[in-house]
Chain A
Amino acid sequence: DIQMTQSPSSVSASVGDRVTMTCRASQAISSYLAWYQQKPGKAPKLLIYVASRLQSGVPARFSGSGSGTDFTLTISSLQPEDFATYYCQQASSFPLTFGGGTKVEIK
């Protein structure tokens, strides 16, 4: 199975900050990586797929990069509605696996 490791597990930031988080796969997954945002009590929401493609309707302040084993999600200017937990997910092989999450908290 491919293990997905996210870091940091949490980050404290202020509105307007640039926030970067990483996801590392235990083996190469090409660009088959997705990012999700999840708020308490809600289902995850797809932000980015195939590592860098912005899902329709997602604000352009979200961007993704990387390939192989190392990936990054960046929020260019944090907005109040962005405080949430973010998960990566590999879609390279079954079983599909998620990272442990990065919680973005208010500083």
Chain B
Amino acid sequence: EVQLLESGGGLVQPGGSLRLSCAASGFTLRSYAMSWVRQAPGKGPEWVSAISGSGDSTYYADSVKGRFTFSRDNSKNTVYLQMNSLRAEDTAVYYCAKGAVSGYDLDAFDMWGQGTMVTVSS
């Protein structure tokens, strides 16, 4: 069964850091681009970052560029989002999402995790 399981969310003060993890199972992680998509309470989804299957290419929304880093360890079937200099506006449920088509960085998302809540507040 294809599954994504996020972890690492929590409450953090403004300016703090968190590292999210997303463990993948049921498919060959290195064949697919992965993304992080967040959703603030009561709002629509917002794409945050993507990484190619190999990990050679990463892409970021302007709102997180320079603060967030997306990485992957295909040997551990896990992707990570390192979030630094967190702001109140980063508060959201963070989902990891799998690209629908092997080998494409630009893609729809055919599998999502259950999400992990990140709250930035003092």
A residues near B (Cβ < 8 Å) are: 32, 34, 36, 38, 43-46, 49-50, 55, 87, 89, 91-101
CB contacts (< 8 Å) of A98 on chain B: these are 44-47
A43→B112 contact, CB < 8 A: yes
Q: Assuming A49-B110, A89-B47, what are 6 further A-B pairs, CB within 8 angstroms?
A: A45-B112, A49-B100, A55-B110, A89-B109, A96-B50, A98-B44
B62 touches A95 (CB 8 A): yes
- B27 in the interface (beta carbon within 8 A): no
CB distance from A82 to the nearest CB of B (A): 18
Question: Chain B residues with Cβ under 8 A from A46's Cβ?
Answer: 100, 108-110
Known: A43-B112, A43-B115. A100 touches B62 (CB 8 A): no
Contact pick for B107, options A44, A91, A95, CB 8 Å: A91
B interface with A by C-beta (< 8 Å): 35, 44-47, 50, 59-62, 95, 100, 106-110, 112-115
Known: A43-B95, A49-B108. A95 touches B47 (CB 8 A): yes
* Nearest CB in chain A: distance from B70 CB, A: 12
Indicate if the CB atoms of B108 and A44 lie closer than 8 Å: no
Q: Evaluate contact between A100 and B61: CB separation under 8 angstroms.
A: no
**Are A93 and B106 interface neighbours, CB within 8 A?**
yes
Q: Which 4 A-B pairs have the closest CB atoms?
A: A34-B108, A43-B112, A49-B108, A96-B47
> How many Å lie between the Cα of A49 and that of B115 in the bound state?
22
Query: Which chain B residues lie closer than 8 Å to A50 at the CB level?
Result: 108
Closest to B114 in A: A43
Q: For B61, what are the chain A residues with a Cβ–Cβ distance below 8 Å? A: 95
Cβ–Cβ < 8 Å partners of B59 in chain A: 94-95
Q: Which residues of A contact B112 (CB under 8 A)?
A: 43-45
